[in-house]
Each structure stands twice: as C-alpha cells, then as structure tokens.
Structure 1
Amino acid sequence: MRLLFITSNRLGDAVLSTSVLRHYVETYPGIKVTVACGPVAAPIFQAVPNLECIIEMPKQKRGGHWWKLWKSVALTWWDVIVDLRGSATAYVLPGWKRVVLKGNDDGLHRVVQLGGLIGLNPPPMPKVWTRKEDEDRAAQLVPNDGAPLLVVGPSANWIGKTWHAERFAETINKLTEKGAALENAHVLLVGAPNERSSAEQVIQSVPEDKRTEIFGNEHLLTVMACLKKADLYLGNDSGLMHMAAASGRPTLGLFGPSRDEHYSPFAKWGRAVRTDWSYDKIIANRTSWFSKENLMESLPVEKVVTAATELVSDFRAEEKDK
C-alpha cells in the first residue's frame, strides 16, 4: 500500500498536516509513504515510519514545481493521494483514493479542519517522529542535571508577530528566579538561521552557563528531540511553536496579528495567550499593509508569566497524579 502525501512549503502548516499523515501511518501499519513538500519543511518528515522518499518542491516559475512532482510520481500507482495544497495534481495521477483540501474554513482550527477532511472528529494530534540519533544528540545538548528546561522561541518570520526582546528577557527572568515555576531552569533558545541576530538581546540576557542556543545549526529533528524534554516552550506564533505542541510538552504560544482560533498550539498541553487587542483591532490600526512595525505591543509581561505559570502547574499536577 502506497501513500503520496503532498503538504506545505511552510514549517508550521507542515507540522499541523502531520495530523493527517499520522492517521494513515497508524491506521495502515506498513504503508509506504512518499512526502512532497517545500525544502524548509522537508527535514521534519525524515523519520516517518516506512518512508520511501521525500520530494522537495522549491517554487519555480509558471508552476514548474508541480511539473517536477508529476514527473517524479506519475509512473507509480498510489493507493491514497493526499493533497493538502489543493492543486489539480491528485486528479492527474494514477491512484485509488484521493483526499484534497480545497480551501480553508475560517470557522475552525486548521487541525480540526484537516480532521474533517478524513472524517475524524476529534482529529489526531500532530506528530513529528524522531530517530535515535536525534535523541542522542539532544541528550548531548541539553543538561541532565535535574534542573527544569525552558525552551524559548524569541523570533518569527515576520516582525509584526515577534514579541519584544526585552519582554522575553524579563519573562525568562521571572519564570526562572528563586521561587518561580521554573526556578534555576536551563534555557534553550531556538530559531531559524537568519533569526539569530534579532534574538541577540534575549540570548545575552541569559547567563552563558545557563543557556544553549540552536539557530539552524542542528537538524530540525534534533530540535524536536530537545522539545520533548522541555518543561515549557514559550514562543511567538511560528513553526517551532507547532513543533513544540506536537512534542506533547507544555507549550505557550504568543499571538497578536495572527488568529489563535486557527493556529493556537493544538495539543492537550498547548495554550495561547494573545495581546489585549484582538486580531481585527491590530490589523485595523497598523500603519499600512506593508508595515514592518511590531504589532505585539499590547501583550504585557505579567499576562505571559501568569499563563506560563498556570500551564506548568497544571501539567505537573497531572503528572504527579499518574
């Protein structure tokens, strides 16, 4: 049995799409999987069970990436073709069953919408599989000294939804100080390679002996293995936030000019805290459609610290009762 799984260019959407992939992998043990996605998202699929190959689809002029995909898979019979990019490709390939996402439903969280596509409510939780080498590398990077681990994603792919560096620094300090929820925690700071410079102020706010940083210098599945060790992930709305939620560990996403009702961390221990201003108010008051201003101004430190402390406390209480 073979599955062709066509998913997003963007990391966050690709992580959310693993909800659908998980359904097929776990429902049909042994199913052979081919994934087609953008280069940024490709690494998160490298440990998918029974993976045959990953076809990277960097965008090309006049839809050339779709032609490249068709040539790569047109001579194979597919038992299931899942196209979450809504193209016509699924209909011009040889196969038995086709599942095609034809547009977004703005009344639903994206994972709930994906679940409906395959007839499941509630939907499966997103999942990013890891390898032993990823777990081993994470063990080398993250101290195993009994201290809590706070993972922070202080950057994003757009300045508009990037919380202020000084507020991240203050929040880290408040969460790790004596008597706080994550007292004496080690801090792992994560982001994309091109985001390190914007995170420099946050990085330098943490003592060198209490921090580790990963900004594109490790495999994404190593990052995932680190996230599985976190006592809390705190970060902007980003692909890394969705990876953290998929780890099953407490995840707090910070929202402003993006809709938490669509993209909040989708997991039992996923929570969103947003600006005091609504999405609509933020968008209505920005200076222009092409604004490069920070739009997270109305999210205070106290609100984030309270939400983070409550999340960690609730998680620990349930773990203690197990």
Structure 2
Amino acid sequence: MIPSSKVQHILFITSSRIGDAVLSSGLLNYMQSEYPNAKFTISCGPLAVSLFEGLPNLERIIPLKKQKYNKHWIGLWKDIVGTRFDIVVDLRNSAVSRLIRTQHRYIYGSYVDKKLHKVEQNSSVMRLSGVPPSPKLWFNEAQREKAKALIPDGEGLVLGVGPTSNWAGKTWPEDRFIEVVKWLTSDNGFMAAARVAVFAAPGEEEAARTVLSSIPADKQLDIIAKTDPGTAAATIARCNFYIGNDSGLMHCAAAAGVPTFGVFGPSYPHIYRPWGAHTAYTSTQETFDELIDYEGYSAQTAGCLMNSLSVDMVKAAIEKSWPHITSSSQ
C-alpha cells in the first residue's frame, strides 16, 4: 500500500444522480482524513457538480454530460490522460479508469454485493473493513452565504420538508405532509412554533407550493427550486429536523448531519434509506414489487403508490424514532 504522505493526486468518478453522488461522499470523507496531502479531481454528472464545490483540497471538477456512443467517456479520458493519479476510485465501472496511469485503482464491479446499502457497497469498492465511512458534504463560502439568506438567523427551530420526488409513484400525498407538518409544529409538537422550509427541485414546484401555502405566512421559508443542489444542501444544514420523500434532498439532509426522517414507498429502503444514527424512515407495508404488481402498471403513467401509508403510521414512526435521531445528530 502506498504511504499516505506519498498520495498527491486522487481521481474520484461518481454518479450523475444526486442521491447516489451524496452517498458516495463517504469515500471522500475517508480519503480526506487518510490522505491529507492529496488533491482531488472529481468527475460526476453536471447536476451533482455543486455538491463537491466545497470539498477541501479540491483540484478540479470535471462535469460528465452523457453523450451518444459513450463519447463522454472519451472526452474524460482525453481530459485526464496526461495526469498521473496515485489513486483512482471509479464508482461507474468505466473503461477510463482502466486506461489511465495509477498506482492503485478501485473500481465498482460484479464483486460488490448489490443487496447492501449503497454506503456499504461503496465502502466495499475500496475494501474498507469495519463501519463504512458516513457520507459528508462540505460547503464553500458562497453556498453558506446563500443558505443564510434563504434561512436567516432567527429565534426558534426550523423544520425542513421535502414533499416531492422525481417520480409520482414514490411521492407521498402532499395533504398528508401538511397534516404531519401541522402536528410537528403544533403547541405540543416536537417542532412547536418552528419556521418551515419547503424544498423542491425544478419541475416539482406545484406539490411543494401546496404544502408551503398551508403554513402560516410568518413561518414560511420558500426554498422551492431556488438553488443548485449544493446550495440546497447547505440550506438544509440550517434546519433542525428534515422530513421528506426518498430523494436526493433526503440524502443531503442526512449527509449534512441533520436529524432526518425518510418516507418510503416503491423503493428499496435497505439500499437507499437515509444513512446514520441520526436518521430513521418508515415505508409502506407493501414492497416495491407488490406496489407495482397490478394490471396496466407503467412507471410513466403511475400515480402515487403510497396511499397505504397513513398519516398516523408516519406520526407513530416519528414518535418512536425521535429520541435516538435527535440525540445522535452530528
């Protein structure tokens, strides 16, 4: 194994999707401490770029925009072929990582147990033993300043809510989110009198605004399609608690150390639940396969598949998990 002090340049190839990119940050967290002298080159999808802009010892970020005939990989190879990397970590299993010079390469492959949580899968790529390194996000000054403008300092708690997702099937009904928010912020609630920050990505505004409009005007914090993912994560980091659907924002909240509660339906919680002792989740009793097992199912036309998950079920799960997720927050 190469001595830590000798590692100068590391290439990290990660996902185009927000959630997977965040979950991969545990390896960056590990390498930041293991190789303190190293400079990092990150290659990821354009949407994930802002998540890594605050990384300490960042040398450069190379956005990897998908092109026909895998030309994006050819472009990446041309961009980095002249650089000698001491370590290459490739979570995309690309040919590029096999064609460039390096002393050590770690590539996501068939040996990875796909039934494990994504954080555990990523840890196995580097053959790490023990507890997998937890995802972590770093924010630059511009992101922190924008976050402070969106959630100004003030008295009381801030509740973060992510009532949308990138697929209708795994989006819990907004009227149920409204009920849970009212319960949490009631006089006897865990987040009594809290300001409520509502988050959503571009294209998901309608449902999010329904939730926002249900909140008293003096408690509303509108973070709906206002920022890039990195700045959204920095803004979530200013919350005291976050509840949301299975989405990239949920993983951002957990990686930022915010007590996080995920609401799951047609997904795989054993792979994509929020990671960390400060997190919890609940899900429909039906599995993904059971939820989509009906005549005429189409992912493109399916509506909400989470109607069996009641408000009372979510409240009960929050009550049960509240002591440990709030006492374990980072």
Q: 2:64: which partner in 1?
A: 57
Q: 2:27: which partner in 1?
A: 20
Q: 1:303: which partner in 2?
A: 313
Q: Which deviates further from its counterpart, 159-168 or 96-105?
A: 96-105
2:107 to 94, 100, 108: 100
Q: 1:192: which partner in 2?
A: 201
Q: Counterpart of 1:114 in structure 2: which amino acid?
A: N
Q: Which deviates further from its counterpart, 141-150 or 187-196?
A: 141-150
Shift of 1:217: 1.8
2:188 to 179, 188, 212: 179
Q: 1:210: which partner in 2?
A: 219
Which digits, 9 at most, give the CA deviation of each residue in 1:64-95, with x for residues without a partner?
Answer: 11011001001111101111001111111111
Residue 147 (1) aligns with residue 156 (2) = yes
Q: Counterpart of 2:145 in structure 1: which amino acid?
A: D
Number of residues of Structure 1 aligned to a counterpart in Structure 2: 320
- Contact 1:151 / 1:190 at 8 angstroms: preserved in 2? yes
Q: Against the structure 1 CA distance between its residues 197 and 146, is the aligned structure 2 distance closer, same or farther, given a 3 Å change threshold? A: same
When the two structures are superposed, what TM-score results if normalisation uses the length of structure 2?
0.92
1:238 to 224, 230, 247: 247
SS class of match (1:108): coil
Shift of 1:317: 5.0
Q: 1:67: which partner in 2?
A: 74
**Cα distance between partner residues in 2 of 1:96 and 1:6:** 16
Shift of 1:205: 1.0
Q: 2:283: which partner in 1?
A: 274
Q: 2:49: which partner in 1?
A: 42
2:132 to 93, 115, 123: 123
- Contact 2:265 / 2:287 at 8 angstroms: preserved in 1? yes
- Contact 2:277 / 2:325 at 8 angstroms: preserved in 1? no
**Cα distance between partner residues in 1 of 2:107 and 2:325:** 36
Q: 1:84: which partner in 2?
A: 91
1:161 to 140, 155, 170: 170
Shift of 1:5: 0.6
Shift of 1:221: 3.0
**Cα distance between partner residues in 2 of 1:27 and 1:160:** 41
- Contact 1:12 / 1:240 at 8 angstroms: preserved in 2? yes
**Cα distance between partner residues in 2 of 1:316 and 1:159:** 30
**Cα distance between partner residues in 1 of 2:144 and 2:118:** 29
Q: CA RMSD of the aligned region, Å?
A: 1.8
Q: Counterpart of 2:244 in structure 1: which amino acid?
A: G
Shift of 1:207: 1.8
Shift of 1:133: 3.1
Shift of 1:182: 0.8
**Cα distance between partner residues in 2 of 1:208 and 1:85:** 45
Shift of 1:192: 0.7
**Cα distance between partner residues in 2 of 1:181 and 1:239:** 25
**Cα distance between partner residues in 2 of 1:93 and 1:213:** 45
Shift of 1:275: 0.9
Shift of 1:316: 4.5
**Cα distance between partner residues in 1 of 2:64 and 2:328:** 42
- Contact 1:181 / 1:313 at 8 angstroms: preserved in 2? no
Q: Counterpart of 2:318 in structure 1: which amino acid?
A: A
**Cα distance between partner residues in 1 of 2:46 and 2:127:** 29
**Cα distance between partner residues in 2 of 1:317 and 1:38:** 35
Long gaps (5+) in structure 2: 1-7
Q: 1:114: which partner in 2?
A: 122
**Cα distance between partner residues in 1 of 2:21 and 2:293:** 29
Shift of 1:286: 6.7
Q: 1:258: which partner in 2?
A: 267
Which digits, 9 at most, give the CA deviation of each residue in 1:88-128, with x for residues without a partner?
Answer: 11111111111000145232111011112222231100011
Q: Against the structure 1 CA distance between its residues 316 and 82, is the aligned structure 2 distance closer, same or farther, given a 3 Å change threshold? A: closer
SS class of match (1:41): helix
SS class of match (1:284): coil
**Cα distance between partner residues in 2 of 1:237 and 1:7:** 20
- Contact 1:250 / 1:311 at 8 angstroms: preserved in 2? no
Shift of 1:318: 6.1
Q: Counterpart of 1:183 in structure 2: which amino acid?
A: A
SS class of match (1:258): coil
Q: Which deviates further from its counterpart, 129-138 or 147-156?
A: 129-138
Residue 292 (1) aligns with residue 292 (2) = no
Shift of 1:270: 1.3
**Cα distance between partner residues in 1 of 2:327 and 2:174:** 31
